Amino acid sequence: MRHETATSSSREIFGVPAVLAASECTALIRDLTQLWYLTYNQELSDIDGDIELCRRFFDPLARGHSLRERLSQLPATPVELLRSKRGEPLVVNTGENTLIVGVEARILISLLDDLDLEDNYVVLPPRDVAIAEGRALAVYQKWSRARLNQVIALRSGQGREVMQAISVGLVIALLINRSDVPERAVVRWSSGSVEGQRVDTAIHAGAERFAGAISKSRSNRSMGEQRLKGGYALSEARRRLAHRVVVIPNYSDGGELLYIPAKYKEEVISFLGKDLARRPGLTESLLSTGLVQLVEEFRAVAGRLAHESMVFERSADTRAVIKSLTSEFTLARQESD
């Protein structure tokens, strides 16, 4: 393709002129292809798969330790490639005479491969340049939103993993205790306090029985993690349910108040029912057994909270919670079949 306009000649893509001598284009493809192999230790393949491979170094969520480990394993870049002076964003110098390439390089290789190199000069069409730049931008936008998308998925019950059984049981225990207003909240005492240990034991008792009934493969966590202050189960519940599980300071008695606001009660029950329905081995019968055991254990140890004025369970309300939760589970399972 011949040199067409002055406008085209002034354009660039990823720092490379949109007008190239055919020899420059050939050299660029050769250098980028060699750098690709040095970076990823494999030949070029399907462009979509190759771009995904670029996450190894360019994923914004990659851990620093992992990146340091991967960078340390890279081979030194040959001197002739170091002398080419190709810069960012096409080529990244990681120090110690090592260059790597990523998304921009892979897209540019694909673009250059489609050009006709029979003429002395080639022009990258403005439309193709725009498409290539847009593709790179879309990749980075997707990667940068990955954490946000994960959080949204967890909050909506659409995360890849179901909620931990012990965390589900703990939330159900709060619902059964009618802890839906500050006046009926459970107090989260400081870790290590005598009051905190009694509260933790009572609230977790029903949750543990429930988890044991519905999940045979769950991992056993230490007693140190079975607490409301800094414990795993509540942390997981709050991570999934976000604003629907509230913790506020208790200015009168110290500690913190833990409850599920009444306006979110049905929403939480629906969330739990749908999340439980995603467990392939969980049947309605098994769920019912787990709920019965949760209530039995909760009532058996409820006296430990009586003197703290934290027991608010009522049979009629408990039956209503169980009925609603079971209905949500059954409906979600039917919709997924």
pLDDT single digits (tens) 185-196: 887 766 555 554
Q: Determine what percent of the chain is predicted with pLDDT higher than 90.
A: 55
User: What is the reported pLDDT for 229?
Assistant: 53
Indicate the SS3 state at residue 19.
strand
DSSP per-residue string spanning 262-291: GGGHHHHHHHHHHHHHT-TT--HHHHHHHH
Q: Between 228 and 124, whose confidence is greater?
A: 124
Q: Are 286 and 214 in contact (CB under 8 A)?
A: yes
Cα-Cα-Cα-Cα torsion 38, 13, 22, 48, nearest 10 degrees, comes to 50
Query: Residue 7 — pLDDT band, cuts 50, 70, 90?
Result: very low
Q: What is the mean pLDDT of residues 263-283?
A: 94
More confident residue, 293 or 186: 293
pTM for this prediction: 0.61
Q: How far apart are CA 159 and CA 241, in angstroms?
A: 12
Task: Judge contact between 77 and 38, C-beta under 8 A.
Answer: yes
Taking the C-alpha atoms of residue 190 and residue 228, their distance in angstroms, rounded to an integer, is 9
* Integer-rounded Cα radius of gyration of the chain: 29
Among all chains, which residue has been given the structure tokens 């306006």?
Answer: 263
**pLDDT at 222 (0 to 100):** 42
- Name, of 10-19, 37-46, 161-170, the range with top average pLDDT: 37-46
Question: Quick one: the chain helix, strand, coil %, rounded to 5?
Answer: 60, 10, 30
| Digit-coded pLDDT (tens) for 62-98 | 888 899 999 999 999 999 998 887 888 999 999 888 9
User: Three-class SS of residue 234?
Assistant: helix
Per-residue pLDDT tens for 242-253?
Answer: 899 999 887 666
Residue with more model confidence, 197 or 315? 315
Residue with tokens 């989260």: 188
Q: Compute the distance between CA of residue 158 and CA of residue 154 in angstroms, rounded to an integer.
A: 6
Cβ distance 187 to 194 under 8 Å?
A: no
